[in-house]
Amino acid sequence: MNFTDKLFNTSRKNRSLLCIGLDPDPELMPKANILEFNRAIIDATHDLVCAYKPNLAFYEALGMEGFTILEKTIEYIPGDIPIIGDAKRGDIGNTAKAYAKALFSTFGFDAATINPYLGFDSVEPFISYRDKGIFTLCRTSNKGASDFQDLPCPSGSPLYEVVAQKAKQWNVYGNIGLVVGATYPEELKKVRSICPEMPLLIPGIGAQGGDLASAVNYGTDAQGEKAIIAISRQILYASKEKDFALAARNVAEKIRNQINSYLASRQRAK
């Protein structure tokens, strides 16, 4: 099963566009073993999500132990739930080929985030894994995104729009998506208009201040799908006490229900 089919199956079964980022930060976590923490979060939320998204930086920061934790976390996630490796890799072709092998063959992620700014030869090794999802950084959620992503290109369009157009052009196998932050709703709306059929990975809700209603209204496709709304800290650290898993579930369920409420309102307005 390819990534898109796996995503749709889980999203429809769980009635969810919510993706939880498994980003364990010892400074924010309750006092718990990191692997046990991840497993508890998964146990509490697996029926509420469309995907999980581990950010590799949090595991790399732990050294070799972190890679073991990541491997065991991936193994623990139910097999029908897609896993997005948030790696943001991007390098020259030969190195990109090794990165793609690491993410898709070694770790076994169903999808990965990549940086397209070295051009097509840095992206092609990922695209060649036809059953895997590739989420290209387009208009990211951070404050400094405008430093480069808003710069006008010779066509007159800002760089992030050119990235969206290029991704659409490269999407010969139907396995490319885009990363667009909820913190920039007008840009999100524009990218969706450029790529109406492409999956969008949408971070920036919660700690970064993105608006959930705008993310749903502007980020989903005409059928109210193909949006993956990624939230980490707001869910993971809902409590620092022993009830952290239950607290995480309560927040995740509330957000999942809010998303569905916005979708229902949009459907009624048509």
In the chain, where are the structural domains located?
3-269
CATH fold, domain 3-269, is: TIM Barrel (3.20.20)
What distance, in Å, lies between the first and last C-alpha atoms of the chain?
A: 33
Query: What pLDDT is attached to residue 30?
Result: 86
Q: Does residue 267 register a pLDDT over 90?
A: no
CB 171 within 8 Å of CB 191: no
For residue 137, what pLDDT band results from cuts at 50, 70 and 90?
A: very high
Beta-strand runs (E) in 18-167:
18-21, 51-53, 84-89, 111-114, 133-139
* pTM given for the model: 0.96
Write out pLDDT tens, residues 7-56. 999 999 999 999 999 999 999 998 779 999 999 999 999 999 999 999 99
Query: What pLDDT is attached to residue 32?
Result: 78
The mean per-residue pLDDT over the stretch 180-209 comes to 94
* Residue 70 to residues 46, 48, 61, 105, Cα–Cα distance (Å): 17, 21, 12, 14
Q: What is the dihedral angle through the alpha carbons of 135, 140, 142, 145, rounded to the nearest 10 degrees?
A: 140
| Residues labelled as active-site residues | 88
For residue 1, what pLDDT band results from cuts at 50, 70 and 90?
A: confident
Query: What pLDDT is attached to residue 58?
Result: 97
